[in-house]
């Protein structure tokens, strides 16, 4: 076996496999991406975690499993709205799918004023990505209607706000395709809201990514995971809002908040704070809690003993059947 990898204790930080019929490799913020044969892709969701466009130095045990399995859950639940890239899940951390031509934008649908939108709003600014936000709102208020705030997908991993008009002007996407993507995004968000409500959750905001498969618009990457979405608990939402208390949430936002409390927002000269074992465990707990609440299933984390061998074997077996 010819492979190297960096693995934190009880966590998968990275892989570097040499797979059968592999013809390319790319390492994203969280996923190690292998292109296979002609037209296929294998994504290994590692336990890395990123915030403010920086990959943090410690792995979050079982995070990659949660992302893979929740994304599969929602991809299966939305394929009547739009075809998606997923073909199989041969390993708890791995998705094999169609290698689509990526449309280089992220479509962020926001139903509530929080996170990045709130950070913009509280400066006094009311425009975000060419969309006007209403006056008189407070943090975590629901918007009258969901708004869409796109971002560019940069090759260096740094995403930036952009308006729909700028996307079309820069020819990142045609107007016809963009109109279709916007309509689909709202339908996907509506489906996510409905599914979350059935489980006592509020889908606050989320991002979607799209690609082209033989010129057909296709949903790619992850859907309604704690990395791509925010969820609040329905039963505590109103009370927290009325009393000005922080919302109990199941998302990565609390990691961003923790970093900001420790003087890190990814700015030049700032140093990533040390993540204690207790904090790392709290992140794992938050991710697995979302999985269990949303799916109604108990999360069974994998054994990290010989995890690289296991993943590689599962990958090669799946590739042989493509």
> Is the model's pLDDT at 150 over the cut of 90?
yes
- Structure confidence by residue, pLDDT tens digits, 49-90: 998 888 999 999 999 999 999 999 999 999 999 999 999 999
Contact yes or no for 280/288 (Cβ under 8 A): no
CA-to-CA distance for 75 and 220, rounded, in angstroms? 9
Mean pLDDT lowest for which of 13-22, 103-112, 149-158, 241-250? 149-158
User: Can you spell out the DSSP letters for 269-283?
Assistant: T--PPP--HHHHHHH
- Phi/psi for 291 (5° steps) reads -55, -45
Q: Give CA–CA dist 272/202, Å, rounded.
A: 31
Residues 6+ apart with CB under 8 A from 38: none
Calpha distance 320→94 (Å, rounded): 15
- Annotated domain spans of the chain: 22-99+299-320, 101-251
Q: What are the structure tokens assigned to 149, written together? A: 């705030």
Q: Average pLDDT, stretch 156-163?
A: 78
Q: How many whole angstroms separate alpha carbon 216 and alpha carbon 184?
A: 13
Superfamily grouping for domain 101-251: ATP-grasp fold, B domain (3.30.470.20)
Q: Is the pTM of this model over 0.75?
A: yes
pLDDT band at residue 44 under the 50/70/90 scheme: very high
The rounded distance, in Å, linking the Cα atoms of 62 and 107 is 27
DSSP string, 38-88: TTEEEEEE-S--EETTEE-SS--TTHHHHHHHHHHHHHHHTTTTS-BSEEE
Residue in this structure with the two tokens 């990691």, named with its chain if needed: 255
Q: Please report which confidence band the pLDDT of residue 98 belongs to, taking 50, 70 and 90 as the band edges.
A: very high
Hey, what's the torsion of the CAs at 310, 25, 209, 252, to 10 degrees? 60
Q: What is the mean pLDDT of residues 199-207?
A: 97
Residue 151 has pLDDT above 60, yes or no: yes
Task: Judge contact between 130 and 225, C-beta under 8 A.
Answer: no
CATH class held by domain 22-99+299-320: alpha beta
- Return the pLDDT at 3: 42
Please compute the mean of the pLDDT values over residues 7-25 and round it to a whole number.
86
DSSP letter for each residue of 211-246? EEETTEEEEES--S-TTTEEEEEHHHHHHHHHHTPP
Please choose, from the candidates 105, 83, 106, the residue with its C-alpha nearest in 3D space to the C-alpha of residue 214: 83
| Alpha-carbon separation of residue 71 from 106, 193, 200 (angstroms) | 16, 15, 19
* In the predicted structure, residue 159 carries a pLDDT above the cut 90: no
Distance CA 90, CA 170 (A): 39
251-276 pLDDT tens trace: 888 898 899 999 999 899 999 999 99
What number is the average pLDDT over the span 299-305? 93
Encode pLDDT of 282-300 as tens digits: 999 999 999 999 999 999 9
What is the pLDDT, as a whole number, of residue 5?
Answer: 42
pLDDT of residue 92: 97
Residue 228, C-beta contacts closer than 8 angstroms, at least 6 positions apart: 206, 207, 221, 222
């Amino acid at each position: 076996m010819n492979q190297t990898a960096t693995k934190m204790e009880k966590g998968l930080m990275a892989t570097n496999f040499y797979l059968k019929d592999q013809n390319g490799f790319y390492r994203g913020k969280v996923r190690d991406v292998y292109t296979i044969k002609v037209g296929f892709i294998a994504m290994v969701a590692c336990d890395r975690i990123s915030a403010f466009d920086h990959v943090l130095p410690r792995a979050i045990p079982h995070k990659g499993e949660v992302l893979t399995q929740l994304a599969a859950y929602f991809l299966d639940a939305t394929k009547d709205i739009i075809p998606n890239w997923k073909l199989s899940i041969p390993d708890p951390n791995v998705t094999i799918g169609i290698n689509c031509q990526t449309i280089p934008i992220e479509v962020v649908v926001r139903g509530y004023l929080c996170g990045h939108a709130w950070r913009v709003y509280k400066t006094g600014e009311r425009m975000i990505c060419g969309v006007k936000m209403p006056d008189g709102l407070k943090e975590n208020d629901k918007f009258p209607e969901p708004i869409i705030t796109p971002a560019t997908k940069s090759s260096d991993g740094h995403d930036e706000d952009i308006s729909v008009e700028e996307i079309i002007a820069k020819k990142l996407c045609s107007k016809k395709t963009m109109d279709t993507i916007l309509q689909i995004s709202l339908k996907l968000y509506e489906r996510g809201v409905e599914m979350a409500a059935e489980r006592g959750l509020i889908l606050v905001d989320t991002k979607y990514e799209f690609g082209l498969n033989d010129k057909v618009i296709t949903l790619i990457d992850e859907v309604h995971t704690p990395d791509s979405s925010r969820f609040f608990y329905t039963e505590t939402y109103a009370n927290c809002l009325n009393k000005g208390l922080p919302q109990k949430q199941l998302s990565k936002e609390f990691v961003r908040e923790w970093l900001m409390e420790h003087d890190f927002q990814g700015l030049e000269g700032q140093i990533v704070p040390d993540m204690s074992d207790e904090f790392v465990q709290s992140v794992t707990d938050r991710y697995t809690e979302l999985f269990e609440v949303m799916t109604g299933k108990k999360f069974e984390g994998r054994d990290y003993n010989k995890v690289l061998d296991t993943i590689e074997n599962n990958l090669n077996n799946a590739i042989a059947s493509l």
